[in-house]
Structure 1
Amino acid sequence: MIQTMLVLAVIFIGVAFAVYQVYDIYYSQNVGDDEALAMREGASRASAAESAFAALRGVFPERLVSAAQRDETLSRNPEPLLRRRKSIVLEQGVKIRYLSLWTGRPVAHDWRKALLIVVLVDCLIAMFLGGLSLYTVAYEVPGATFAWMNDPVVILVLLALVILLTHAVAKLDLYLHDLYRIGRLNRYLA
């Protein structure tokens, strides 16, 4: 009985964390970079962007920095360039070093909406698993096919997998969006 209560408490915490992940990815998509840039500099966004561009001038050729200043989103927030500076290659336009031996074009499509939908579906699955764990305290799910639903430990493991998947999708979202924004610099370098 105590083991079941402990597992249910951990499931509750897991569901709460899954809901928090939806908030976290939504927040990072909308204000994350701007706030991080302003907090790092402790000043206004304009002066923070200028100091970030000063740091970029020490890392990238002037041609790339001036292209970033002409881009609407990167001129306000050059954080993607700072985050991905080790993987950016400037040869006949901007290219990305994905692996040590593989260099290719940046991502050409913005995947943010699709990945946010995946995170929302993961959150719904986590809430379903949490509700299922509470349902199976009082009732059993009939049938041999659904016998796994009656075991709170199995539900806990599935919930942990959903949370890990959501975390991986959030990291992938940040990575792909950075590459998408960096790839837009090719318009100004041509």
Structure 2
Amino acid sequence: MLIYIVFLMIFVGVTVALYQVYEIHYNINVGNDKKLSKADKGRLKTLSDQAKTAQQNHAWADFDQMATTALGPDFNRDIALVAFAEEEAGSYAIPLLRRKRRLSFNGDTEGAKRSRITVRHLPFWKTTLPNVNIRAALIALVIVNCFLVQLLAAMTIYTISYPISTPLLAWLNEPLIVMLVIYAFIFMSLLVSKFDRYMHDLYQLGKLFNKKAV
């Protein structure tokens, strides 16, 4: 009975791994804003509308007030305007709303000098904004993990009729061990997906501050 449960879990694992590949592409192309809180979604819409109005009518007061409320009194208005006036919200506005609490301007009251901006990853760990986009490598890692999950699942079927005699690979003859390895890959892909979103947000913020500096 246990062996049937193990094979069922392996099948579920393959399905989850395939879904993870779909999910990471969906989050990049469609569902980026779904990772915002309800409050930040409201701020995104309001600030985007106010930014367009401010640019058209040169009426900055309402936008300044909203930006101050959402981003803090020290945040540079021009940077906020660039972020929220961008047609594609996922470029700058969404990353800014998601990561605003992690940004530190190190005494730069204008908040426009990228070299003075740090990111607080942990209470004891700060770095500057990244200038290299590692998204492609992380997506490739999720895809490779998915392929390995499918390969391992196929091996559980293969080894029923053709057990592997090589000592180094003998663990492939044990479906329970293979199942655990499959779920380890799934967990790794989950972490990679979250890390990708986090690092890409920071990379986009680096581009935002560079854009303002130029």
- TM-score, normalised to structure 2, is 0.75
Alignment partner for residue 79 of structure 1, among 94, 98, 120?
94
Report if the CA contact (8 A) 1:68-1:74 is conserved.
Answer: no
Alignment partner for residue 80 of structure 2, among 52, 65, 68?
68
- Matched residue SS, 1:165: helix
Report if the CA contact (8 A) 1:96-1:106 is conserved.
Answer: yes
Question: Within 2, Cα distance between the matches of 1:183 and 1:107?
Answer: 7
Question: Within 2, Cα distance between the matches of 1:86 and 1:42?
Answer: 16
Question: Within 1, Cα distance between the matches of 2:204 and 2:45?
Answer: 19
Question: Within 1, Cα distance between the matches of 2:102 and 2:41?
Answer: 28
Q: What is the CA-CA distance between 1:56 and the residue it aligns to? A: 4.2
| 1:144 counterpart = 2:167 | yes
The superposition leaves residues 63-85 of structure 1 with CA deviations (integer Å, 9 ceiling, x where unpaired) of: 53431332589663212112112
- TM-score, normalised to structure 1, is 0.83
Q: What is the CA-CA distance between 1:110 and the residue it aligns to? A: 1.2
Q: Quickly say closer, same or farther: Cα 1:106–1:41, change in 2 above 3 A.
A: closer
Question: Taking CA–CA contacts closer than 8 Å with sequence separation of 6 or more, which of the two structures ends up with the larger relative contact order?
Answer: 1
1:88 alignment counterpart: 103
- Matched residue SS, 1:166: helix
Please report the RMSD computed on the Cα atoms of aligned residues, expressed in angstroms: 3.0
Report if the CA contact (8 A) 1:68-1:185 is conserved.
Answer: no
Letter in structure 2 aligned against 1:88? L
Q: Quickly say closer, same or farther: Cα 1:9–1:156, change in 2 above 3 A.
A: same
Q: What is the CA-CA distance between 1:183 and the residue it aligns to? A: 1.4
Percent identity over the alignment is 29
Q: What is the CA-CA distance between 1:104 and the residue it aligns to? A: 2.5
Q: What is the CA-CA distance between 1:177 and the residue it aligns to? A: 0.5
- Matched residue SS, 2:101: coil
Higher gyration radius (CA): 2
Residue range with higher mean Cα deviation, 128-137 or 91-100: 91-100
Report if the CA contact (8 A) 1:71-1:185 is conserved.
Answer: yes
Q: What is the CA-CA distance between 1:46 and the residue it aligns to? A: 6.2
Residue range with higher mean Cα deviation, 49-58 or 2-11: 49-58
Question: Within 2, Cα distance between the matches of 1:72 and 1:99?
Answer: 27
The superposition leaves residues 35-92 of structure 1 with CA deviations (integer Å, 9 ceiling, x where unpaired) of: 667x98999x866733797754313347534313325896632121121122111234
- Matched residue SS, 2:140: helix
1:57 alignment counterpart: 68
| 1:22 counterpart = 2:10 | no
Report if the CA contact (8 A) 1:49-1:76 is conserved.
Answer: no
5+ unaligned residues in a row in structure 1: which ranges?
Answer: none
- 1:170-189 → structure 2 map (5 Å cutoff): 170-187=193-210, 188-189=212-213
Give the paired residue count.
Answer: 187
Report if the CA contact (8 A) 1:64-1:189 is conserved.
Answer: no
- Matched residue SS, 1:97: strand
Report if the CA contact (8 A) 1:14-1:159 is conserved.
Answer: yes
Alignment partner for residue 176 of structure 2, among 153, 157, 181?
153
Residue range with higher mean Cα deviation, 7-16 or 129-138: 129-138
The superposition leaves residues 6-28 of structure 1 with CA deviations (integer Å, 9 ceiling, x where unpaired) of: 10110000011000000001111
Q: Quickly say closer, same or farther: Cα 1:74–1:64, change in 2 above 3 A.
A: farther
